[in-house]
Amino acid sequence: MNRKRAGVAILYLDLDEAINDTLGHEAGDAVLGEVSARLQGAIGDIDLAARLGGDEFAVLVEDVSSEDTARRATQRIPAAFSDPLESAQGLPVSFSIGMSLHPAHGDSVEELLSAADQAMYDAKRSGQGLIRVWSNGAGAVT
């Protein structure tokens, strides 16, 4: 049987709020712990989330058959943060998210992370809580 394998999506997330600057490092660490738990809950057991450093995270979404499939998976993330975090002391938490897709946007992890990172910065420049998909040098609105 010759089955076509689905692709993967890489999401690059950056908190829109300067948590440590606003709440201090001890409270910021508590927020990041709660963010990590909610993020893992949003993506489930199949996909993988990792903190890259500071307030940046990467998510690997497997079994992506199209950009629409990846977008649906990505929409679960903001929904997980609709309720306030206890540790954030009332500070809203949202992400700017960039997304790249394999094989359309690269073949290596480095290429995909770079594309997703650049799309995330495009989202951040455009406003808070936005998602952008890599599109030949610019993030495309999602």
Say if 45 falls within a structural domain. Answer: yes
Kindly report whether the peptide bond that precedes residue 84 is cis, defined as omega within 30 degrees of 0.
no
| CA distance to 25, 40, 46, 80, per residue, from 140 (Å) | 34, 25, 26, 23
Decide if 2 is inside a domain: no
Average per-residue pLDDT for the chain = 82
Q: What is the CATH number of the domain that holds 92?
A: 3.30.70.270
Tally the domains of the chain: 1
Q: 47-60: per-residue pLDDT in tens?
A: 888 988 888 999 99
- Predicted local distance difference test score (pLDDT) of residue 46: 73
Q: Active-site positions?
A: 55
Q: Which domain holds residue 13?
A: 7-141
Tens-place pLDDT, residues 78-99: 888 888 887 777 777 888 999 9
pTM beyond 0.75? yes
Confidence of residue 137 (pLDDT cuts 50, 70, 90): low
Both tokens of 58, joined, read 């990467």
Of 11, 22, 28, give the one whose Cα is nearest residue 95: 11
Q: Between helices 25-43 and 67-80, what is the axis angle to 10°? A: 140
